[in-house]
Structure 1
Amino acid sequence: MTTAEMSTNCTFELLLRWDLSIDDLETKHFVLVHGGGFGAWCWYKTIAHLEEGGFRVDAIDLTGSGIHSFDTNSIMSLFEYVKPLASFLEKLGDGEKVILVGHDFGGACVSYAMELFPAKIAKAVFIAAAMLTTGQSTLDMFSQQADSNDLMRSAQIFLYANGNDQPPTAIDLDKALLKDLLFNQSPSKDVALASVSMRPIPFAPVLEKLSLSDKNYGSVRRFYIETPEDHAIPLSLQESMVNANPPERVFRLKGSDHSPFFSKPQALHKLLVEISKIRLA
């Protein structure tokens, strides 16, 4: 056997082992849930990496996000905001499970889905995300560090579609501060993409307190990925959420800003694959 033939056989055997390991997983189907202001578009690198590795991937546009044609100011509840994700999970076949991945405010949406569809979710992965306890809102979580995060406070622009004498209907982010807040380690091309693609964040869902039970939400395996160079949800706040509601395992993406799908796409991909392979002890 020639060296070239040996090399070809070794490569084939490695690919075979990789294929077998993928097929042997509880699920190889990822569902990606974007954060506040983002859309399915932000996952383009993650989608490509996972699909190249043999995984099935769906990225969801939540109501009024990405290309979903709905006025953000008109979203009055978390139920309404999460509806595209709930509809997707509802349509899964009997016995079909997915790995739900949530970023930022998408963490609260993933938690909401875990409570509704625990049997359809094999694992939940929170990436720099709102991982709340029952009775807590995303606003409650953010208020823990509101006084210390001047950048976040400066970047927020409240929108009042119902008049200035009424509560805010949405939150926009100052485009001039986007890079420092969300993308301080990300490539300029991705910052440019985000600056023309991001939409306002509906305010009512941010105020809504989650109702999470041990029977439903608590039955789903949870994993958290920390982003240490994060200026939007600082590491101290991420650690506070982890300590208050401990997941099965915590990972840290060294050098990542708030948006690891841009700043550390390959490292994020490796972590997601690793999490997909973690079996019950």
Structure 2
Amino acid sequence: MGNKFFRLKKDGKDVGSKSKRHGRSQRKMAVEEELLHRQALSMALHQHQLSQRFDGSMSRRIGSTSARFGSTSSRRTILSDPFSNGKQVPEFVEHLKTKKVVLVHGAGFGAWCWYKTIALLEEVGLLPIALDLLGSGIDQTDPNSITTPADYAKPLIDYLHNLPEEEQVILVGHSCGGASISYALECYPKKISKAIFLCGTMVADGQRPFDVFAEKLGSVESFMEESQLLTYGNGKDKPPTSLMLEKQQTKGFYFNQCPDKDIALATVSMRPIPLGPIMEKLSLSPENYGSSRRFYIQTLDDHALSPDVQEKLVRENPPEGVFKIKGSDHCPFFSKPQSLHKIFLEIIQFP
């Protein structure tokens, strides 16, 4: 009695209608996950660069959200990962001035990690563009040769530089990609309409991206002493140049809520992390970075960047709006793609 999945008819027969609907929903989820994974496999095999167009159409579309908050508020929204039964493309997309969404991966990842997000954004008529930062994804640059945030973010900066003067994009940065989009905001603030930090290193002026992870990793000195996975590209007598986490470490660190297929994809696709860019302090001015519209998405089951650390980031460097995803690890584009997509749509439609 009281079981939310079952309902009894008056004649005493246990119909289980809610259970059946739940079962159909679960099968639908499995079908869509399989389709997304096939798209990822196609993406990896063909090694497409930048904006990846997926063939076929998704069976589900997410409608526009009705929630709003004022441009200067910092209201928080918490989402789980429900499926929408709506089939209608959001009407607001047709009237958007900015439809390009530039997706910037975190350290060790590449453009490949956004495959679910790309498919979902394209499905509603937006134009996602996933970039490989230097030494990441299929970019062949030696990670040990990348020493500064400017080096690392060069593909992103080049892309923004080549945009027509009047054109703007929405910028998304995951994890350490938050530092890369912060650097981009400093360089080209007028070409970025909104910046979304996805459990990202939203550093303040004079702060290093590494400092955000210091609570988890310890001081720079202890981290360097204890790590067995460092590469010394300039010789043992010089500072280490890159880091590669072991597969078991990445699984517990990044993927504690991710599907096994996504973990498998990640473990064969991740690259060494260049250390120079995360060890250098960023210089961010009130005139450029400070004038930008920033939003933050928190992940509440994150083992890499804890919810407490994320809360500290938004408290010390307040964005315009804050969102939270329940049950998400450090990679919501794998573990909670639909909830992430709904938040993207809500932020994108803010005037």
Among 212, 227, 231, the residue aligned to 2:299: 227
Give the TM-score of the pair, scaled to structure 2.
0.72
Among 305, 309, 313, the residue aligned to 1:241: 313
Which residue in the other structure is 2:146 paired with?
75
Identity of matched residues, %: 53
The one-letter amino acid of 1:217's match is Y
Cα distance change of structure 1 residues 250 and 19 upon mapping to structure 2, 3 Å threshold: closer
Conservation of the 8 A alpha-carbon contact between 1:156 and 1:173: no
The one-letter amino acid of 1:48's match is A
User: Where do 5+ consecutive residues of structure 2 fail to align?
Assistant: 1-63, 65-85
Residue aligned with 1:238, SS? helix
Conservation of the 8 A alpha-carbon contact between 2:216 and 2:304: no
Residue aligned with 1:224, SS? strand
The one-letter amino acid of 2:192's match is I
Count of aligned pairs: 263
The more displaced of 172-181 and 27-36 is 172-181
Cα distance change of structure 1 residues 19 and 266 upon mapping to structure 2, 3 Å threshold: closer
- Give deviations 1:222-268, integer Å, cap 9, x for gaps: 00000011001111111111111000010001110000000000110
- Give deviations 1:96-116, integer Å, cap 9, x for gaps: 111000001000000000000
Tell me if 1:125 matches 2:196. Answer: yes
Q: Distance in 1 between matches of 2:167 and 2:234?
A: 42
Conservation of the 8 A alpha-carbon contact between 2:203 and 2:313: yes
Tell me if 1:262 matches 2:349. Answer: no
Greater C-alpha Rg: 2
Could you tell me how far 1:144 is from its partner in structure 2? 3.7
- Give deviations 1:140-189, integer Å, cap 9, x for gaps: 222244349xxx99887221122222101011111122211100000000
Which residue in the other structure is 1:3 paired with?
none
Q: Distance in 1 between matches of 2:284 and 2:306?
A: 25
Q: Distance in 2 between matches of 1:104 and 1:145?
A: 14
Among 129, 133, 143, the residue aligned to 1:58: 129
Could you tell me how far 1:193 is from its partner in structure 2? 0.4
Which residue in the other structure is 1:161 paired with?
233
Cα distance change of structure 1 residues 53 and 155 upon mapping to structure 2, 3 Å threshold: farther
Q: Distance in 1 between matches of 2:113 and 2:89?
A: 27
Among 151, 169, 193, the residue aligned to 2:265: 193
- Give deviations 1:30-64, integer Å, cap 9, x for gaps: 00000000000000000000000100010000000
Between structures 1 and 2, the one with greater helix share: 1
Q: Distance in 1 between matches of 2:112 and 2:87?
A: 32
Conservation of the 8 A alpha-carbon contact between 2:113 and 2:333: yes
The one-letter amino acid of 1:221's match is R
Residue aligned with 1:258, SS? coil
- Give deviations 1:3-35, integer Å, cap 9, x for gaps: xxxxxxxxxxx9998464112224111000000
Give the TM-score of the pair, scaled to structure 1.
0.89
Could you tell me how far 1:219 is from its partner in structure 2? 1.3
What is the root-mean-square deviation in Å for CA atoms of aligned residues? Answer: 2.0
Among 154, 158, 165, the residue aligned to 1:94: 165
Q: Distance in 2 between matches of 1:156 and 1:140?
A: 20
Conservation of the 8 A alpha-carbon contact between 1:155 and 1:177: no
Q: Distance in 1 between matches of 2:200 and 2:342?
A: 18
Conservation of the 8 A alpha-carbon contact between 1:155 and 1:178: no
The one-letter amino acid of 2:276's match is A
Conservation of the 8 A alpha-carbon contact between 1:30 and 1:101: yes
